[in-house]
Structures are given as structure tokens and as C-alpha cells.
Amino acid sequence: MAEAELLYKNPDQPLNVRIRDLMRRMTLEEKIGQMVQIDRAVASTEVMKKYLIGSVLSGGGSAPAKKASVETWVNMVNDFQKGALSTRLGIPMIYGIDAVHGHNTVYGATIFPHNIGLGATRQVYADPALVKRIGAATALEVRATGIPYVFAPCIAVCRDPRWGRCYESYSEDPKIVRAMTELIPGLQGDRPANVRKGVPYLGGQEKVAACAKHYVGDGGTNKGINENNTLVGRHELFSIHMPAYYDSIIKGVATVMVSYSSWNGVKMHANRELITGFLKNTLNFKGIVISDWEGLDRMTTPPKANYTWSIETGVNAGLDMIMIPYNYTEFIDGLTFLVKNKFIPMSRINDAVKRILRVKFVMGVFENPLADLSMKKYIGSKEHRELAREAVRKSLVLLKNGKSEKRPLLPLPKKATKILVAGIHTNNIGYQCGGWTIDWQGQGGNITLGTTILTAIKNTVDQETEVVYQENPDAKFVKSNKFSYAIVVVGEHPYAETNGDSLNLTIPDPGPSIIDNVCGAIKCVVVIISGRPVAVKPYVAKMDALVAAWLPGTEGQGVADLLFGDYGFTGKLPHTWFKTVDQLPMNVGDSHYDPLFPFGFGLTTKPTNAT
């Protein structure tokens, strides 16, 4: 049949006409293929064509090459797309990737502060407008690599900093997390009034489809254990962990990813009441519900103990697209068997595929399936780095300034004879970015382009000021030099997910000894690089000043901007800062609330040149 007569290929046709026309043409095999998302590591033009795959992803750190160029990314995505387009119906695939804090898998991309830092930004109440701008910048950098879909924002409400993903959460306070769903219109564009709430929206080829995750209660697990059990009543689930999904759906979010965690012992991937009953039927969400990576496998202990049961239960619960990522033939065979033997009704498959097609039509990927290099200029652009630097400035929280209020240490004088800068986190892009940066777990060293805090300090001080950098100075060295003051930058090493779960939240060595050796001898400001509140109480008295910098990303200049008074501190704690870990979980409003620094705390300073 001529192209012109294929209603689904005609962009002038109404959305539902296109969906209906395409659905009626599809075989069961083509429908099941649309529900499959595989990792790029096992994808190819041939695999896309043979198995009718609907989506491809980069799992954490999954890149076509080390320091892959924009061209390499675009060519890879286009090759998979050509495979999809060569199928009988030519349904384009969509490529998804994590954008946890910018386009974080891509070398040279702008890396913004992790969400916990963005949750510390303050206008009247958080800084949603800043986060929306970050979303728009991230969309441009993601599109530059040919990718139209990101697994962001994470709208977890982290209720226990022992959770290894706490830095992916904006705050312990659902009101801040709700405000930060402004990332969605930043990524996707503003939903027009004539587009019904609940219907996915995408505003053109410079925007990307978003993903609210992880549905629901991922930040409330027992002791913060990743992927564990959220033991809360219905009121707490719906008042703490659910509200940001209302905002996400109202803003037109295209997809929702389901959490690995359980609610009161029921795996979220198996929770039909909350996925189909509430999200789809009550909230009227018309986009795609996507599983997490091997989410079906992890429905059982041990994982994949009964994969056929997992497929049946997960798909019947309401999962529309399955992030396999590797063993896709086993999934396809299993789902085909279950449908043909009526364990899964065809109506469920049709609901899933309609949602997938709806998002693909709304994304315009039928009309614009292939990418080009026209947006290459956005990767790590000066404008985006300046935006990230602004975000860093607004994210820092000043917790102590002077051993007495009358003698504040900050802002530091740019002109001094000789200053000491100590701590490996001062001169390490990888450390200041944290997890989900280039590699899934992140890592130390010069892993991507950016400005270290040490470079930023050197850029900012007076040219006559001697800057002495020592990774791990001993007390003798510190005492034998006549330093005017010291800047100590210590903290956590990069981690992601379960690798970040911690029951003690101590500052890794040699951080504590650096604080002791330096702050015991000279005036010092300590800058903590961490994905969450950490155990600082034993050291605070020794410090003259204390700054929580979270995980600032590539633009370390934002830290120096505040230390030396070019801008004032404005950030406020998005998380309660505990005294000892045996107080945890402890959130604002709890009866046993006895923090070292309370939620919302943050000292301010005026810019040095303020009139």
C-alpha cells in the first residue's frame, strides 16, 4: 500500500487514528517486540530487525567507546534505528539513557550538581526555575548525541541518608521534590493547556522524553537499604512518596519507571493495585510504565528464580516496556508463551503497545527517526557550564562560619601571603562529580572535562597569593609553614546504588586526619564533598568554617565563587544533618528530632563587593 494511504504514517492524522491504524496492522510478534528494551551492548541493526525491538538503552556507563565522540554516539543510535525502520511496519525505536546530573555518560558533557545539591537551592522554596533551565540544557546535550529519551527525574524522597542513592533524591521533604518536577517541562517542554493532563507531551526535536522514577517509595526503604522494603502505612506512602507523581503526570511526563523496592513486602514490579489501579486508572496516566533494569528478574530471591512467573506477574501488574537488558530472547519467548496460553490477556498487551505508540507518536520519532550532528555545539557548551556553575553556587550550604559569630571566616580574603589547600577532593574531577559520571559507579581522576576546586581557587585568588596544595599534609608540615589560612576539601568517594549503602556514614580516610592536622594548627574552612549528610560531629569544633558542597559536578568554580565572596551563600539543607547514625531515620517533624543541623538550616553571607 502506498505510504500516503498508511494512516499511521500521516502526521496530519489525529493521534488516536494513527495508534488505531497501526495497532490493527501489528502481529503479536511485532507487539511484543515493542515492549522490549535492550542494552546497546547486545543491540545491532540485525538484532533490531530480527526481533522487532522497540527500544534500546545505555545502562549505567554503557557507551559505544571510552571518551566516545558525538559522532560515534549519533552513528550508533542511527544504526539501531535503521534496523528498526527496516522492519515490515517501520516502527522507529527510541533510545533511552540516564541523565542523573546532565548527560553523565558522555565525555565532555556538562555535569550539574547531583539532585541533593539542587534540593538545597533556595528562592522562596527551592529553586524550580533553575532546575527547569538545567532540564532544558540537559535535553540539548542529550539530543546532540541522537538520543530522545532520558530516565530522569528521580523523584525519590530520601528518608534515610544511609541509602546509596540519597544523592539522586532532591530532599527528605516531598514539597521540595514536588517543586523539582519542574525538570520535566525543562526536559520535555511545557505541556500546552489543550493537551489533557496525564497524556505524554513533548515539545519538539530539542526536547527529550522524561521518566519519573522509581515508582513508588524507593527512598523509604528499611535502614535505607537499596531495593529493599518500604515499611510504611498507606497515609505515609501517599503523603510522602506519591505526591511528586501527581505533579509529574500533570506536567505531561512521558514515562514512569517502577522501583525495585517493595511496599510492605509486595514488590513494586508486582503491584497491580498501585501500577494499574492507581497510576493508570486513578491518576489517568497515559504514558509508558517501564520496568527497571532486570526489574522482572529481581522480583524473586534469588533473582530470576521463576522468570516465567515474573513475566506473567509484572506484565499483568501493568508494566508496558521491559528493561531486559540482555536476555531478550528468553523474555520474548516467555511472554509469547504466556499470551498464547491466555495467562496474559491480549487486552494487556494492547494497552502496553498503545501506550508505547502514543509516546513514540508524541515524540515525533516517526517523522524524525534519524539524528544528525547539528546539535554537537551544545555538548559542554560555555553557556551550560555557566548554568552549572550558578547551580553549584546556589547549592552550597554554609553550616559554620567562625568560632564566634563576631569573627566569621568567610568570605576568605583573595589577597594573602600563602594559603594551604589540602585534601584529594580538591583536585579530582571524578570525586567532585560522584557516581553516575562516565561510569555507573563514577571514579576518581580526570574522568571528564571540567574545573577542579583547586583550579578554581587558583583562578580566584590574587596573583600574589601563594597557593600550596598538599593532598594529605601532616601536622608538622602545617605548623612549619606560615599559612594565612587553609581550605580543606574532603569527603566521600564515588558510588552508585547498593555500593553506596552505608550504616556508619563516616568520612573516608584520610579525611578525618587531614581535618585534625590542618584545623588543629591554622584557621581552616572544611568543604565536604558528599552525596548526603555524613558523620562530622566529632570534627566541627576544630573547624573555623564548614561548607556542605554535596557533589557539585564539573564546575568547581562555583565553590570558589562563594569561598572568596564573589557571591553570597544562600543554600539551605534539603536533608536533616544527624548527630549520630543511631538516630536514623530522622526527618523534620519526627518526635525524636535532635539534629546537628536541622532541615532548612543554612548561614548566609553577602558578596564581598555588596554595597
Ligand X SMILES: O=[N+]([O-])c1ccc(O[C@@H]2O[C@@H](CO)[C@H](O)[C@H](S[C@@H]3O[C@H](CO)[C@@H](O)[C@H](O)[C@H]3O)[C@@H]2O)cc1
Which residues are annotated as catalytic?
292, 497
Q: What values do phi and psi take at 415, rounded to 5?
A: -95, 120
3-class SS of residue 259: coil
Does position 390 bind ligand X by CB under 6 A? no
Binding-site size, ligand X (CB under 6 A) = 9
Q: Choose between 180 and 545: whose C-beta lies nearer to ligand X.
A: 180
Q: Choose between 151 and 361: whose C-beta lies nearer to ligand X.
A: 151
Residue 148 C-beta: closest distance to ligand X, Å: 16
438-457: contacts with ligand X (CB under 6 A): 440
3-class SS of residue 111: strand
Site map 244..283 versus ligand X, x via CB under 6 A: ----------------------------------------
Residue 192 C-beta: closest distance to ligand X, Å: 28
> Could you give the CA distance from residue 329 to residue 304 in angstroms, rounded to a whole number?
15
Q: Choose between 149 and 361: whose C-beta lies nearer to ligand X.
A: 149
Does position 127 bind ligand X by CB under 6 A? no
Residue 330 C-beta: closest distance to ligand X, Å: 17
Let me know: does 478 contact 522? Beta carbons within 8 Å.
yes
Residue 359 host element (H or E): helix 346-363
Does position 539 bind ligand X by CB under 6 A? no
Q: Choose between 115 and 570: whose C-beta lies nearer to ligand X.
A: 115
Let me know: does 147 contact 109? Beta carbons within 8 Å.
no
546-575: contacts with ligand X (CB under 6 A): none
- From 33, 54, 60, 423, residue interacting with ligand X (rule: CB under 6 A): 60
What cell was used for 135? 532540564
CA distance readout (Å), 297 to 105, 268, 270, 313: 25, 13, 11, 11
Nearest to 198 by CA among 281, 136, 273: 281
- From 439, 497, 501, 561, residue interacting with ligand X (rule: CB under 6 A): 497
3-class SS of residue 58: strand
> DSSP E strands: which ranges in 492-586?
524-529, 545-550
> Could you give the CA distance from residue 185 to residue 136 in angstroms, rounded to a whole number?
8
Residue 293 C-beta: closest distance to ligand X, Å: 4
Residue with cell 562563594: 562
Does position 164 bind ligand X by CB under 6 A? no
- From 293, 361, 578, 599, residue interacting with ligand X (rule: CB under 6 A): 293
Nearby residues of 20 by Cβ (< 8 Å), 6 or more positions away: none
CA distance readout (Å), 148 to 69, 95, 139, 606: 17, 6, 8, 41
Residue 169 C-beta: closest distance to ligand X, Å: 12
316-375: contacts with ligand X (CB under 6 A): none
Does position 51 bind ligand X by CB under 6 A? no
Residue 390 C-beta: closest distance to ligand X, Å: 26
Q: Choose between 269 and 493: whose C-beta lies nearer to ligand X.
A: 269
The radius of gyration of the chain's CA atoms, rounded to the nearest angstrom, is: 25
Q: Choose between 411 and 531: whose C-beta lies nearer to ligand X.
A: 531
> Could you give the CA distance from residue 367 to residue 372 in angstroms, rounded to a whole number?
14
Q: For the chain, how far is it from start to end, CA to CA, in angstroms?
A: 73
Q: Choose between 38 and 126: whose C-beta lies nearer to ligand X.
A: 38
Does position 167 bind ligand X by CB under 6 A? no
What cell was used for 11? 502526521
Q: Are strands 262-263 and 229-230 parallel, antiparallel or unpaired?
A: parallel
> Could you give the CA distance from residue 611 to residue 606 in angstroms, rounded to a whole number?
9
Residue 290 C-beta: closest distance to ligand X, Å: 9
Q: Choose between 256 and 332: whose C-beta lies nearer to ligand X.
A: 256
> Could you give the CA distance from residue 143 to residue 377 in angstroms, rounded to a whole number?
11
Site map 421..440 versus ligand X, x via CB under 6 A: -------------------x
Q: Choose between 492 and 497: whose C-beta lies nearer to ligand X.
A: 497
Does position 312 bind ligand X by CB under 6 A? no
Q: Choose between 41 and 250: whose C-beta lies nearer to ligand X.
A: 41
Residue 245 C-beta: closest distance to ligand X, Å: 15
Residue 539 C-beta: closest distance to ligand X, Å: 33
Does position 163 bind ligand X by CB under 6 A? no
318 bridge partner residues: none
> Could you give the CA distance from residue 595 to residue 46 in angstroms, rounded to a whole number?
57
The alpha carbon of residue 120 and the mean position of all alpha carbons in its chain are separated, in whole angstroms, by: 15
3-class SS of residue 168: helix
Nearest to 244 by CA among 218, 276, 277, 271: 218
DSSP calls for 454-504: HHHHHHHS-TTSEEEEESS--HHHHHHS--SEEEEEEEPPP--GGGG--SS
Site map 134..153 versus ligand X, x via CB under 6 A: -----------------x--
Amino acid at 324: I
Let me know: does 44 contact 81? Beta carbons within 8 Å.
no
Residue 194 C-beta: closest distance to ligand X, Å: 31
- From 292, 390, 501, 544, residue interacting with ligand X (rule: CB under 6 A): 292
- From 30, 98, 173, 297, residue interacting with ligand X (rule: CB under 6 A): 98
184-243: contacts with ligand X (CB under 6 A): 213
**Binding stretches for ligand X (CB under 6 A):** 59-60, 98, 151, 213, 292-293, 440, 497
